Chains A and B, each alone.
Chain A
Amino acid sequence: NAGVTQTPKFRVLKTGQSMTLLCAQDMNHEYMYWYRQDPGMGLRLIHYSVGEGTTAKGEVPDGYNVSRLKKQNFLLGLESAAPSQTSVYFCASSPKVWNTEAFFGQGTRLTVV
């Protein structure tokens, strides 16, 4: 049972480039989340999804887009990367309602130069 898998684990982008981070979960969870983690700031919610085909903005959504075309996958896109988006990105999933036990992936370390 893989749980939550994030791809890629590391990436370096040049300013202005685009990329997509993939999150896949095999637990049949309804809720999925994308967080970013920066030193001294904890984790901040970027976007989340309450089910296939639905997405919503979190605390820091600017500069990111997401899609949930399949229940098991949640994609995070950066259309034009900026140095301020250098961070560690975590995907998570949970079974149903808000704030139940969430399972996190191992993270993607993104550097924008």
Chain B
Amino acid sequence: LAKTTQPISMDSYEGQEVNITCSHNNIATNDYITWYQQFPSQGPRFIIQGYKTKVTNEVASLFIPADRKSSTLSLPRVSLSDTAVYYCLVVYPRGSARQLTFGSGTQLTVLP
């Protein structure tokens, strides 16, 4: 059974590094793992995407172990404006097709 699990919420202080982990067993072997950010009353916004090991862009890093059963989004030095819900998005095989599945989201609250 495809299941994608994230912590419901996390609190952090400004300037700290935040790591959010998503667990996803048996995802498709040839598809990316993607993370999105969502503010209230807005659509999700792409943050970062990776296939394996580590990916870094100007806003975040993504760590993916070799077994690809989890992924960790790392936000360096968060600010108040990083308060949002963060979702992982993975692909599960479904017979000959594939199924896009979002995690249930992690509410990150950054405190001053």
Contact = CB atoms under 8 A, between A and B. Distances in A.
Interface of A: 4, 33, 35, 40-45, 48, 56, 58-59, 90, 92, 98-107
A38 to B, nearest CB: 10
Interface in B11-58: 31-32, 34, 41-46, 49
B104 interface: yes
Interface of B: 31-32, 34, 41-46, 49, 87, 89-91, 97-105
Nearest to A35: B102
B105 A42 contact: yes
Nearest to A40: B104
A42 to B, nearest CB: 4
A45 B99 CA distance: 8
A57 to B, nearest CB: 9
14 contacts: A4-B43, A42-B104, A43-B44, A45-B99, A48-B100, A58-B99, A59-B101, A99-B32, A99-B34, A99-B91, A100-B32, A104-B45, A106-B43, A107-B42
A105 B91 contact: no
The prevalent SS among residues of B at the interface is strand
Nearest to B32: A99
Contact of B43 (A44, A56, A101, A107): A107
A43 B102 contact: yes
A105 B32 CA distance: 22
A4 B98 CA distance: 24
Given A98-B31, A99-B49, A59 B43 contact: no
A15 B14 CA distance: 47
B37 to A, nearest CB: 11
Given A102-B46, A106-B42, A42 B87 contact: yes
